[in-house]
């Protein structure tokens, strides 16, 4: 996919939806992220929507508004799940984006009849996720977690060569706002051999970027790194809830399982790669790091392999809610720190002939940055549970308590360009059963 | 689920389908396994079928043959995927089995119009597999593979407490006969730090039993071990193809990924737990082994937690095919050696609130037995690639070569009861791209 800019990126564009203009919104007309939604509390069918300001464009209400490729793409985008649109490929995505941009511009006729206020909407997971893969792309996260699990060898010898990943659970992926119960499980006993059983006492979040696969590949085929972004529909925010005590006991030798598969939460909005084209960044490597193997290399990698997306995590405890204290930011990071690019993840995933399908979800892994305050999990922020975080109302946290609400936000903004926001992904910990 | 026998288990029953009678078939009237099929080479819709002798009963052709609960279940079983039937639960499965048994008995009117010869049929993966989980239930496999990967600590401290499992890939699960390409990938270099890239040179099979989940559980809920078999529709054979060199380099710290997800092959037939009721076996533990934690214990565990299912692996090389040499058996084992029961896998998988869905597939993990010739993979049979196997035509194997065809078979048979066969799962290694 080219990162060439086109008329939809013009910073001077404004919309007849006033709330999209003026710089305060995550969703100016240059963004146009997709979701699946319906009126809150209704029994309407879910259908595709696009964010503009504080409104959702109801794509199922647009009818015959567009022609040609945009019309075909609109029909796919209006469905209950976006797999068809994702499968349609970059030309279709681009045609629909252009048509939506023109439809929403200030000089086009206002069509408030196709809008629903976001405050009145509820969202669903926007695609049937056939398979969910979670990667481990932050070398800062891998190193600091490695120090806790393996003090003698924090970063394993394969890390700088292999985009480490593993398969996760698609059945428990939910959309922002869907709360979940604290998991129960086996944990290592502090005394003796017999493990303990009970509710996790080291429940954590992980700040990640989600990557929705567009058109896939046939089993046995591979997607070349240079073409890989043509197979990526867009990005979202992802919280990979993790039970560290369950993880520490179960993860050898086959990796995390029950410590992760109880809940994963994503933001409702998928921001397309085209919307993010003005926010590409150089791929970051230390001079001492090895060059990527040829199947992980491609012309655009070094200049613009990364995405400059600011990320932050906020916590709101039950106590803070009760006292009216605003959610407190406990971490900020940036997706540009990722050791592996999105295209490299796709190329690596398929180099062995593994089939990706439209709607598959890849997690980036926890996006910790180089600085300690950029750590993307409590495990790191609390140095393995040893250094409590102090919250504005005087509470402390090492891991999550029941009632804690975690909110993640993301946005791209630089060079005076409009803010391309991801909205938020939020979830609250309910007590164990 | 009760393992009480009923009229469908009567060993004296015979069918008006002659090939089902006389003891030579995998599919006597006491078995009645399900598949999804169509006429070979046709463009017909796939639909549900049941094996009887060398025929398939076309469930879509049965129309109004049954009444009541069996009729409702038949409508679900006739569909292109069996998820609806799997979701319907044990009472529906049992009603349909009884109706099929009565329909096919020697004293019922012959209905050859609803039969298609298995020789004229082709099969599909019988359900939409939402998530695929692979376990590691053979302590013999875990110990001998552990010796190769970690000579100092073959069996990790968690093994006897935690039914170890990890998530696999559903997009690359295929049905018997669907061949696959040898995967490419990174492997550890014998000299120096830089890994090699190329076709896997240590390609292996893994002899497993597949477990199709029936009705699932809501996220946040758990399935109790004592009720877990009510959530299992049936069993099949599963070959978890594995690239050992890719696995050794990539698997730390998050587990196997590209070394496994290029292909998994299952048999077309799902044998129901009800058909296997006469072949339950005692759950096997050494006296020194710990008792299972309470959430993994249930009344029927010790007396009949296991299944007495014979398993075997045959190899046919290109040379053997050319020379007309019959496939050679290289391993035989039995599912009763599994350290964890099927019910324990379901209870463990959901104890943290992870949601299972009808049609989900669990792999048992490689079913190696206590004896060396019962090893369920070449990695074990060749002692990590050091001791070649000699084949009847003079060839040798440490790992799989291009053109090798692996066939796995399984059957239950004892006490003079009819053979409840699983048919076979076969696959051939194609050269790397």
pLDDT tens track for B268-290: 999 999 999 999 999 989 999 99
- Flag whether residue B172 sits within 8 Å of chain A, measured between CB atoms: yes
User: Residue A187 maps to which CATH number?
Assistant: 3.90.850.10
Q: B377 and B403 share a domain?
A: yes
A vs B: CB pairs below 8 A: 204
Q: A138 and A99 share a domain?
A: no
B85 falls within a domain: yes
Per-residue pLDDT, B2: 47
Burial class (CB in 10 A: 0-12, 13-18, 19+), A236: buried
B202 falls within a domain: yes
Q: A357 and A240 share a domain?
A: yes
Which of chain A's residues have a Cβ under 8 Å away from the Cβ of B258? 348-349, 351-352, 354
pLDDT digits (tens, 9 = 90+) for A37-65: 999 999 999 999 999 999 999 999 999 99
B390 φ/ψ angles, rounded to the nearest 5 degrees: -95, 130
CB contact under 8 A, A219 and B355: no
Q: A260 and A342 share a domain?
A: yes
Distance from CA of A181 to the nearest CA of B (A): 6
Its domain, for residue B255, covers 132-430
Per-residue pLDDT, B1: 44
User: Residue B73 maps to which CATH number?
Assistant: 2.30.30.230
CA distances from B71 to A347, B29, B56, B400 (A): 48, 19, 19, 46
Q: B291 and B415 share a domain?
A: yes
Q: B108 and B202 share a domain?
A: no
Residue B104 contacts residue B112 (beta carbons within 8 Å): no
Nearest one of A176, A384, A131, A394 to A267, comparing CA atoms: A176
Determine the Cα–Cα distance for residues A380 and A200; give it in Å rounded to an integer: 18
Q: Which of residues 126-145 of A touch B (CB under 8 A)?
A: 130-131, 133, 136
DSSP state of B269: -
Q: B342 and B299 share a domain?
A: yes
A105 falls within a domain: yes
User: CA torsion sign, B290 to B296 to B300 to B305?
Assistant: negative
CB contact under 8 A, A166 and B168: no
Q: A162 and A237 share a domain?
A: yes
Nearest one of A368, A175, A160, A131 to A265, comparing CA atoms: A175
Instruction: Determine the residue among B185, B246, B260, B353 to mutate to test chain A binding: the one whose Cβ has the most chain A Cβ atoms within 10 Å.
Output: B353
State yes or no: cis peptide before A320, omega within 30 of 0: no
A1 falls within a domain: no
Tokens standing for residue B113: 């119009």
Among A105, A123, A141, the domain boundary falls at A123
Q: A225 and A103 share a domain?
A: no
Nearest one of A87, A68, A69 to A79, comparing CA atoms: A87
Per-residue pLDDT, A414: 86
**Kind and range of the H or E element at B212?**
strand B207-213
Q: A250 and A142 share a domain?
A: yes
**A141 labelled catalytic:** yes
Per-residue pLDDT, B338: 97
Strand B271-272 to B232-239 pairing: antiparallel
Residue A48 contacts residue A35 (beta carbons within 8 Å): yes
Tokens standing for residue A355: 């089939």
Residue B269 contacts residue B424 (beta carbons within 8 Å): no
- Flag whether residue A240 sits within 8 Å of chain B, measured between CB atoms: no
Q: B215 and B287 share a domain?
A: yes
Burial class (CB in 10 A: 0-12, 13-18, 19+), B322: exposed
Tokens standing for residue B76: 């679900």
- Taking the alpha carbons at both ends of chain A, their separation in whole angstroms is 47
Per-residue pLDDT, B309: 98
Q: Which of residues 245-284 of A touch B (CB under 8 A)?
A: 246, 249-259, 261-263
B2 falls within a domain: no
Determine the Cα–Cα distance for residues B17 and A428; give it in Å rounded to an integer: 59
Distance from CA of A95 to the nearest CA of B (A): 29
Distance from CA of A421 to the nearest CA of B (A): 30
Instruction: Determine the residue among A352, A355, A366 to mutate to test chain B binding: the one whose Cβ has the most chain B Cβ atoms within 10 Å.
Output: A352
Q: B388 and B253 share a domain?
A: yes
Per-residue pLDDT, A315: 98
The dihedral formed by the CA atoms of B282, B286, B289 and B293, expressed in degrees to the nearest 10: 10
Count CB-CB contacts under 10 A for residue A196: 16
Among B105, B123, B141, the domain boundary falls at B123
B1 falls within a domain: no
A2 falls within a domain: no
Per-residue pLDDT, B151: 87
Per-residue pLDDT, B415: 80
Per-residue pLDDT, B277: 97
Tokens standing for residue B5: 């026998």
Q: How many residues does chain B have?
A: 433
Angle, in degrees to the nearest 10, between helices B90-104 and B68-77: 90
B328 falls within a domain: yes
Site of tokens 């397309």: A272
Q: Which of residues 329-388 of A touch B (CB under 8 A)?
A: 348-349, 351-357, 360
Domains: count for chain A? 2
Among B103, B123, B143, the domain boundary falls at B123
CB contact under 8 A, B290 and A252: no
Which of chain B's residues have a Cβ under 8 Å away from the Cβ of A193? 157
* Positions in chain A short of pLDDT 70: 1-3, 192
* Positions in chain B short of pLDDT 50: 1-2
pLDDT digits (tens, 9 = 90+) for B185-243: 999 988 767 999 999 999 999 999 999 999 999 999 999 999 999 999 999 999 999 99
CB-nearest to B180 from A170, A181, A220 is A220
Site of tokens 């993840």: A345
- Taking the alpha carbons at both ends of chain B, their separation in whole angstroms is 47
Nearest one of A209, A241, A167, A203 to A367, comparing CA atoms: A209
Strand A271-272 to A232-239 pairing: antiparallel
């Amino acid at each position: 996919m080219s990162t060439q800019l086109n008329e939809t990126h013009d910073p001077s564009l404004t919309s007849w939806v006033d709330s999209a203009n003026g710089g305060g919104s995550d969703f100016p007309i240059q963004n146009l992220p997709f979701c699946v939604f319906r009126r809150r509390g209704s029994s309407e069918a879910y259908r595709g929507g696009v964010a503009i300001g504080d409104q959702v464009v109801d794509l199922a209400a647009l009818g015959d508004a567009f022609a040609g490729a945009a019309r075909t793409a609109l029909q796919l985008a209006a469905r209950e799940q976006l797999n068809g649109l994702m499968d349609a490929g970059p030309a279709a995505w681009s045609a629909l984006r252009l048509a939506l941009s023109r439809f929403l511009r200030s000089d086009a006729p206002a069509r408030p009849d196709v809008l629903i206020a976001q405050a009145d909407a509820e969202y669903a997971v926007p695609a049937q996720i056939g398979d969910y893969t979670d990667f481990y792309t932050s070398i800062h996260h891998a190193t600091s977690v490695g120090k806790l699990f393996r003090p003698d060898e924090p970063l394993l010898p394969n890390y700088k060569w292999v985009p480490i990943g593993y398969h996760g659970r698609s059945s428990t992926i939910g959309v922002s706002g869907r709360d979940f119960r604290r998991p129960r499980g086996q944990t290592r006993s502090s005394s003796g051999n017999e493990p303990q059983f009970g509710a996790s006492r080291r429940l954590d979040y992980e700040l990640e970027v989600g990557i929705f696969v567009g058109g896939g590949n046939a089993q046995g085929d591979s997607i070349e790194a240079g073409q890989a972004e043509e197979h990526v529909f867009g990005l979202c925010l992802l919280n990979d809830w993790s039970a560290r005590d369950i993880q520490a006991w179960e993860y050898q030798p086959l990796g995390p399982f029950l410590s992760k598969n109880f809940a994963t939460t994503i933001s409702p909005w998928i921001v397309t790669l085209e919307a993010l084209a003005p926010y590409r960044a150089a791929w970051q490597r230390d001079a001492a790091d090895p060059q990527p193997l040829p199947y992980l290399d491609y012309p655009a990698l070094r200049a613009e392999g990364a995405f400059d997306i600011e990320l932050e995590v906020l916590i709101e405890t039950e106590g803070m809610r009760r006292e009216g204290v605003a959610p407190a930011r406990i971490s900020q990071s940036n997706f540009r720190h990722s050791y592996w690019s999105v295209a490299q993840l796709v190329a690596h995933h398929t180099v062995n002939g593994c089939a990706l399908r439209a709607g598959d979800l890849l997690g980036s892994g926890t996006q910790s940055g180089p600085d300690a305050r950029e750590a993307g999990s409590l495990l790191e922020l609390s140095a393995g549970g040893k250094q409590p975080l102090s919250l504005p109302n005087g509470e402390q946290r090492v891991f999550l308590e029941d009632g804690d609400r975690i909110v993640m936000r993301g946005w791209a903004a630089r060079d005076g360009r409009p803010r391309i926001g991801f909205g938020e992904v939020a979830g609250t910990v309910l007590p164990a059963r």
